[in-house]
Chain A
């Protein structure tokens, strides 16, 4: 987000008793020029009905991170609403009205930006609605606006007059005031308190909120046979057996897959198993993970495009009393949400309706419309809740939407539900990129770090997408290296560089993205360096912190105190620490670990977090706990391996095991009081838990694990 938001507001006169308030944003220059003459009607952020129910439009996808509840809290705070009045729905798809202000003019959810980009916007929407209600009450009562108080959904006047929001909704439907003032954070009454999630009940009772739960009458279920290697193309299809199955209606193919249409899911799955597909592998990626590691490793041994450079690292390394070098290897990782990719579409020549969970709804709608040959304005996008995304539903190339549109087109006008199987999901690519770090450090005679040289080799997942120009700046894809740069520590000479690699394996952001590997390398390599000279892990880090990194210092000191308060380390366990900042949020963590038959077992973890103003404390803790579990899972046993010839070896949770309840540590979270604007926490726990556990393991066993996951050591 650049600078304060300059918002213009307009009210749309609502029909009937509801009033609808709209907060419109300044348009990007080109769009503004196109729209200059148009008196466009903007969609709304907040509406209040006659019963006093306040509904906010969430421009962001609710993926479990609690964004709807967070956005509603901002509105409710400034509106002085009662929490029980609040509801939230996914907004319509619109790249302008519902743009992510951190990205410009695209509606997108990601990079833990939702809370920060919407913080002022949603508060302003709430404050504007409040001002409109107050104005209506003042007029009605014949009193001055500043004599009216608003508390928990009720407006009152010292004379004793009182009314609820709902009763004024119609009267308040008028032109919005141009200027509203926002509360000082010290006056917040809702933000920072426990606000129950708005979606708790629906999610406990199995309510139909996911795309897969949409069951329009006469919908055909579509399953797909995807290529066995990345880039393989359909060469031949034998559908005789598949079509002989009861309720299989048809088989259609396109360049990169074969779709089975059936009357129910069981038949569609049987059809998928029965269809025989011949593949052309000419353009396929045929290198194995081992081949890629060898290439990436070779590339990482020399510096790439410079990300950061201070001093003369080569000279300092040559002069150092001692130099240390290590190579780290990180596998492809799959997102593996429990809900596989799914979506529902109904279309004919006049338009369509889509039910899809997507982190980029407007772009996805446009792509689907394009595949169907429809005007995007005739296609309605219903954004659904998603059963876990972790980055998977944010596709710069809109691949999920494209496949849905393409197959629906092959089926002809009608209603379709697409359903990936667990196997599709596991083998389907869009992984966290396979990555190699080569890192060197120079130490002086006292063991102090004098040089640091980290080269990262991996691929950019923006290659070939419309985001390539936007994301790759000065030859650097920040998401590929984030977390290896902007370190809180200072030493004399310093270099971080990137070797851009290419493969046919589609990759994608995966919760915490670059921080997953970069945070691991920084914090474990540093641990080893401190250990060589007998420095304490916490004090050693504090000593290296740049003077202006006070927030890093605070979380590190806090977490050390939390672990200290928890008492002595039990027999057979050790503790490891890590400090990492991601997405504007600071976090330090200490993990307590034992040796469970050659694998680390994390029993407890303490996390100290500075995410600015804490909107919903319980959700922050919940997200950190979940992030810790997610990060730990990947550290222990997750990896996608391309075997000889380039086929993915894993196919389900059986061979891609994710964390189970019996391996979940008890996590204690503390937040640092702050008046800084709030920053995201959805991805935060993922990066730091990994090095914290590895560091504990290092002290416990003497082994620093540099090829992940831990379970792959058997293979090596």
Chain B
């Protein structure tokens, strides 16, 4: 059975059972491997995506619940907030193993889209679902502040 999904602005037809989590539709069926698996139960944030602009975990989002919603993944994340976040991530140069970072970038993009000038407390609250075993957290905070400053400067 085939379902039409809207992924990064394009319509993609996925031939998978309707209860397939979006994570595996992306990775196995569409070859979009930027979104990572870490736990499969919504506990690590590695699979963060934006659904209609809102942060969601692809591992606990069956594809038949998406309807016509627009999904954005790290593979083609764009827009001012995303560009600022990615630039700040590279400028701060802190990814260690890097496995969690696509999810961190997506979550930070969601945060800045909602809260353009977050405090440390805002960052802690918004990002505490994004586990990083390498504990790059100190620099995640710093990079989000840099991205926020860039966004403000650009306006």
Chain A residues near B (Cβ < 8 Å): 63-66, 196-197, 199-210, 212-213, 215, 221, 246-247, 264-267, 269, 336-340, 385-390, 419, 421-422, 618, 622-623, 625-630, 633, 652-654, 658-662, 664, 666-667
- Chain A proximity of B19: nearest CB distance (Å): 8
A633 (CB) vs chain B CBs: closest residue: B135
Q: Is the CB of B28 within 8 A of A205?
A: no
- Chain A proximity of B24: nearest CB distance (Å): 4
- Taking chain B's interface residues, is the majority helix, strand, or loop, or is none over half, making it mixed? loop
Given A65-B96, A264-B29, A652-B41, are A626 and B136 also a contact pair (CB < 8 Å)? yes
Kindly supply a per-residue 1/0 record for chain B positions 73-100, scoring 1 wherever the CB is within 8 Å of any chain A CB and 0 otherwise.
1110000000000100110011111111
A63 (CB) vs chain B CBs: closest residue: B97
- Chain A proximity of B30: nearest CB distance (Å): 10
- Chain A proximity of B5: nearest CB distance (Å): 15
Chain B residues near A (Cβ < 8 Å): 16-17, 19-21, 24, 27-29, 31, 33-41, 43-44, 46, 73-75, 86, 89-90, 93-102, 105, 123-125, 127-141
Centre residue among B40, B102, B135 by max chain A CB count within 10 A: B135
Q: List 8 A-B contacts (CB under 8 A).
A: A205-B102, A247-B17, A266-B16, A337-B97, A337-B133, A422-B40, A422-B44, A618-B93
Residues of B close to A340: CB separation below 8 A: 37-38
Instruction: For the complex, give the distance between the alpha carbons of A246 and B31 in Å.
Output: 20
Given A203-B98, A653-B43, are A658 and B141 also a contact pair (CB < 8 Å)? no
Given A388-B99, A654-B43, are A622 and B94 also a contact pair (CB < 8 Å)? yes
Instruction: For the complex, give the distance between the alpha carbons of A652 and B41 in Å.
Output: 9
Residues of A close to B20: CB separation below 8 A: 264, 266
- Chain B proximity of A611: nearest CB distance (Å): 17
Instruction: For the complex, give the distance between the alpha carbons of A667 and B95 in Å.
Output: 17
Residues of B close to A337: CB separation below 8 A: 97, 99, 133
Q: Is the CB of B93 within 8 A of A338?
A: no
Ranked nearest first, the 9 interchain pairs of A and B with the lowest CB-CB distance are: A629-B135, A206-B34, A387-B99, A203-B98, A64-B96, A64-B97, A664-B137, A203-B95, A206-B102
A-B CB pair tally, cutoff 8 Å: 186
Residues of A close to B95: CB separation below 8 A: 64, 197, 199-200, 203-204
Q: Is the CB of B128 within 8 A of A339?
A: no
Add 16 more A-B contacts to A200-B89, A246-B17 (CB < 8 A). A64-B98, A197-B95, A203-B101, A206-B75, A208-B33, A264-B16, A266-B17, A338-B99, A338-B100, A338-B133, A386-B97, A422-B40, A626-B134, A628-B135, A629-B138, A662-B124
Given A205-B86, A206-B102, A626-B135, are A389 and B125 also a contact pair (CB < 8 Å)? no
Residues of A close to B133: CB separation below 8 A: 336-338, 388, 390, 630, 658
Residues of A close to B96: CB separation below 8 A: 64-66, 388, 622-623, 626
Residues of B close to A626: CB separation below 8 A: 96, 134-136
- Chain A proximity of B145: nearest CB distance (Å): 13
Given A264-B16, A339-B99, A422-B39, are A204 and B75 also a contact pair (CB < 8 Å)? no
- Chain A proximity of B120: nearest CB distance (Å): 9
Residues of B close to A63: CB separation below 8 A: 97
B46 (CB) vs chain A CBs: closest residue: A338
Residues of A close to B93: CB separation below 8 A: 196-197, 200, 618
Given A199-B95, A203-B98, A264-B16, are A659 and B38 also a contact pair (CB < 8 Å)? no
A357 (CB) vs chain B CBs: closest residue: B97
Residues of A close to B86: CB separation below 8 A: 204-205
Residues of B close to A618: CB separation below 8 A: 93
Q: Is the CB of B137 within 8 A of A661?
A: yes
Given A199-B95, A200-B95, A265-B24, are A207 and B34 also a contact pair (CB < 8 Å)? yes
Q: Is the CB of B139 within 8 A of A422?
A: no
A338 (CB) vs chain B CBs: closest residue: B38
Instruction: For the complex, give the distance between the alpha carbons of A236 and B46 in Å.
Output: 36
Given A265-B24, A265-B27, A340-B37, are A385 and B98 also a contact pair (CB < 8 Å)? yes
B37 (CB) vs chain A CBs: closest residue: A212
- Chain A proximity of B4: nearest CB distance (Å): 18
Q: Is the CB of B89 within 8 A of A662?
A: no
Instruction: For the complex, give the distance between the alpha carbons of A64 and B96 in Å.
Output: 4
A195 (CB) vs chain B CBs: closest residue: B93
Instruction: For the complex, give the distance between the alpha carbons of A212 and B80 in Å.
Output: 30
Residues of B close to A215: CB separation below 8 A: 27-28, 31, 33
Centre residue among A196, A215, A653 by max chain B CB count within 10 A: A653
Q: Is the CB of A661 within 8 A of B28?
A: no
Instruction: For the complex, give the distance between the alpha carbons of A246 and B140 in Å.
Output: 41
B85 (CB) vs chain A CBs: closest residue: A204
Q: Is the CB of A210 within 8 A of B99?
A: yes
Instruction: For the complex, give the distance between the alpha carbons of A422 and B37 in Å.
Output: 9
Q: Is the CB of A625 within 8 A of B97?
A: no
Q: Is the CB of A661 within 8 A of B139?
A: no
Q: Which of B33, B101, B132 contacts A213 (CB 8 A)?
A: B33
B39 (CB) vs chain A CBs: closest residue: A422
Given A206-B33, A266-B24, are A338 and B44 also a contact pair (CB < 8 Å)? yes
- Chain A proximity of B28: nearest CB distance (Å): 4
Q: Which of B17, B105, B129, B139 contacts A204 (CB 8 A)?
A: B105
Residues of A close to B128: CB separation below 8 A: 660-662
Residues of A close to B105: CB separation below 8 A: 204-206
Q: Is the CB of A653 within 8 A of B139?
A: no
